[in-house]
Structure 1
Amino acid sequence: MNRVVHPIEQESFRRLRARLDTSRFPPLTRAVVERVIHSAADLEYASDLVMDEGELAKAHAALHGGAPVVVDVEMVAAGITRRETVCRLKDAKAGPGLTRSAHAMRLAYEEVGPGALWVIGCAPTALEELLTLDAAPALVIGLPVGFVGAAESKAALRESGLPAVSNVSEKGGSAVAAAALNALLYHPASADEPEEKL
């Protein structure tokens, strides 16, 4: 089913491309970069984001093949369209040395097992906890925001060798994390599907 793109969104992407040449990026990377920039109106993401096209292609196939999507907070879930997500934050409890967000990652992993796509846009501790699990993710979109632990948790994600979308700076957030996942959702699953016109 093709997504109907509103004229305001089309114009927004036209203006984005007028200000920034994204044609140098391979297709899935370009889709993620543009959608993240669109969500934040922040052109700096073009040089701040870190990802690999081959990893994105595998994640794209997993996503369109029905792999579960886990999010750290309901705000990320609210931004993801056309896909159910797993968020266990309401069930989680903080304990000694464990935040609610970290506990929620444990609960989600118990529910979905390996091979999921993990989308973390709020809590650095959620990303840190995910890195301790044997989650074998299809992709980790690690874009938590904040002055404490955000940049460090994203650096740890990149060092882990897991397939990932991250960024170098402290910025991020629920909207940009959801946007990165949506970019993969909106990209055609096969050559037979028409590409979204923006």
Structure 2
Amino acid sequence: MNRVVHPIEQESFRRLRARLDTSHLPPLTRAVTERVIHSAADLDYAADLVMDEGDLERAHAALHAGAPVVADVEMVAAGITRRAAMCRLADARSGPGLTRSAHAVRLAFEEVGPGALWVIGCAPTALEELLTLDASPALVIGLPVGFVGAAESKAALRESGLPAVSNVSEKGGSAVAAAALNALLYHPVPSEETS
């Protein structure tokens, strides 16, 4: 099913492309980059994001084949359109050496197991916890925000070798993390492109 794009969104992307040439980027990298920039009105993401087209292709296929989507907080889950996302933060508890966000990741992993797409846009501790699990994710969108632990957790994600979308700086957040996942949701699957 093709997505109907509102004229305001069309104009927003036209203006984005007038200010930033993304035509040289591979298709999914371009889609994620543009949607993240659009969500934050921040052109600097073009140089800040880190991702691999092959990882995105495999994640796109997994997502459209029904792989579960897990969000670290409800704001991320609410921003993901056209697909339900699990968030276990309401059920989580903090304890010695464990934040609620980290516990929520554990709870979600117990439920979904390996192969999920993880969308982390708020809590660096959620990303840190995910890296301790044998999650074998289809993709980790690791874009937590903040001055404490955000850049470090994203660096650890990149060093892990897991398929990922991250960024180098401290910026990020729920809206940009959800936007990165939405880019993959909105991008047509090959059978849709030919029909």
For this structure pair, what is the TM-score category when the shorter chain's length is used for normalisation?
over 0.9
How much is the aligned-residue C-alpha RMSD, in angstroms? 1.0
Tell me how far apart the structure 1 counterparts of residues 97 and 194 of structure 2 sit (CA, whole Å): 49
Residues 25-83 of structure 1 deviation map (CA, whole Å, 9 limit, x = unaligned)? 00000000000000000000000000000000000000000000000000001100000
Tell me how far apart the structure 2 counterparts of residues 186 and 145 of structure 1 sit (CA, whole Å): 24
Q: Calculate percent identity across the aligned residue pairs.
A: 87
Q: Which runs of 5+ in 1 are unaligned?
A: none
Paired position in structure 1 for 2:117: 117
Tell me how far apart the structure 2 counterparts of residues 85 and 176 of structure 1 sit (CA, whole Å): 15
Paired position in structure 1 for 2:139: 139
3-state DSSP of counterpart to 2:190: coil
- Large movers: runs of 4+ above 4 Å: none
3-state DSSP of counterpart to 1:178: helix
Aligned residues: 195
Q: Which aligned pairs between 1:157-172 and structure 2 lie closer than 5 A? A: 157-172=157-172
Specify the code of the residue in structure 2 equivalent to 1:117.
L
3-state DSSP of counterpart to 2:192: coil
Post-superposition shift, 1:191? Answer: 4.0
Specify the code of the residue in structure 2 equivalent to 1:127.
L
Post-superposition shift, 1:189? Answer: 1.3
3-state DSSP of counterpart to 1:131: helix
Paired position in structure 2 for 1:193: 193
Paired position in structure 1 for 2:93: 93
Tell me how far apart the structure 1 counterparts of residues 161 and 64 of structure 2 sit (CA, whole Å): 23
Tell me how far apart the structure 2 counterparts of residues 32 and 76 of structure 1 sit (CA, whole Å): 16
Paired position in structure 2 for 1:128: 128
Indicate conservation of the 8 Å contact 1:122/1:173, yes or no. yes
Post-superposition shift, 1:192? Answer: 3.5
TM-score, normalised relative to structure 1: 0.97
Post-superposition shift, 1:141? Answer: 0.1
Tell me how far apart the structure 2 counterparts of residues 92 and 155 of structure 1 sit (CA, whole Å): 26
Specify the code of the residue in structure 1 equivalent to 2:146.
G
Q: Which runs of 5+ in 2 are unaligned?
A: none
Paired position in structure 1 for 2:46: 46
Post-superposition shift, 1:193? Answer: 3.2
1:151 aligns with 2:151: yes
1:31 aligns with 2:31: yes
Indicate conservation of the 8 Å contact 1:188/1:194, yes or no. no
Indicate conservation of the 8 Å contact 1:121/1:145, yes or no. yes
Higher helix share: 2
Residues 81-132 of structure 1 deviation map (CA, whole Å, 9 limit, x = unaligned)? 0001110000000000000000000000000000000000000000000000
Tell me how far apart the structure 1 counterparts of residues 100 and 192 of structure 2 sit (CA, whole Å): 43
TM-score, normalised relative to structure 2: 0.98
Post-superposition shift, 1:3? Answer: 1.1
Structure 1 residues 73, 156: CA separation in 2 closer, same or farther (over 3 Å shift)? same
Specify the code of the residue in structure 2 equivalent to 1:79.
G
3-state DSSP of counterpart to 1:4: coil
Paired position in structure 2 for 1:108: 108
Specify the code of the residue in structure 2 equivalent to 1:126.
A
3-state DSSP of counterpart to 1:122: coil
